[in-house]
Structure 1
Amino acid sequence: MKYTNATLILPDELVEELQKYIQAGYLYVPAKGERRKSWGELSGYRKELDQRNAAILSEYRRGISAEALADRYCLSIYAIRKIIYQK
């Protein structure tokens, strides 16, 4: 998430009004519905997890045990089973 100093982009009157409610803190301004990105979409982490999960599923189908996959990917057996059975 990118932080921007309010004094750089907002009119002074608006900054003064905001300061009545919050000072020296962080304020989250959500995007409107149509501009909203899903979790991990901006950073690319969602795609990275999808690729990892596909690799786990592929290895499991080739006969690698859930326990071995848990060790290899540093995940719990529960997390591995969740990945395997959700696809």
Structure 2
Amino acid sequence: MSYISAEKVLPTELINQIHKYVSGECLYIPVMHKKRKVWGMKSGYRQELDIRDSNIFALHQKGISVSELSEKYFLSEKSIYRIISKMSSIM
């Protein structure tokens, strides 16, 4: 995260109002909720996990056991059950 001088982007009146509450400190202003990206969307990892979960669900539907899926995907059986439950509620 980089810092931007408030004087470059905010009107003087607003800076004067902010000084009443915080002066000479770093102030973090979070991204508006509408503009936030869902976790993993920027890197593409969320999509990778969705594909993995779909594959796990499909294999389980074909009769592959939870313990086999656990070994294949290096996940706990509890995680496999959670994925199957999540995917069955979506489908």
TM over 0.5: yes
In the aligned structure 2, how far is the partner of 1:56 from the partner of 1:19? Answer: 53
Matched, 1:77 2:68: no
Gaps of 5+ in 1: none
- The TM-score normalised by the length of structure 2 is 0.68
Amino acid at match of 1:68: E
Amino acid at match of 1:39: W
CA shift for structure 1 position 11: 5.1
Matched, 1:10 2:14: no
CA shift for structure 1 position 40: 1.2
Residues 24-39 of structure 1 mapped to structure 2, 5 A cutoff: 29-39=29-39
With 75-84 and 29-38 compared, the bigger mean Cα shift is at 29-38
Gaps of 5+ in 2: 9-14
- The TM-score normalised by the length of structure 1 is 0.70
Give the fraction of aligned pairs with identical amino acids, expressed as a percent: 36
State the structure with more CA Rg.
2
Amino acid at match of 2:5: L
Aligned CA-pair RMSD: 2.5
Change (3 A) 1:29 1:49: farther
Q: Deviations over 1:25-46 (max 9, x none)?
A: xx75421122111111111111
Aligned pairs, how many? 76
Which protein has greater RCO, CA pairs closer than 8 Å, 6+ apart?
A: 2
Q: Deviations over 1:7-28 (max 9, x none)?
A: xx325798xx889435xxxx75
Matched, 1:21 2:16: no
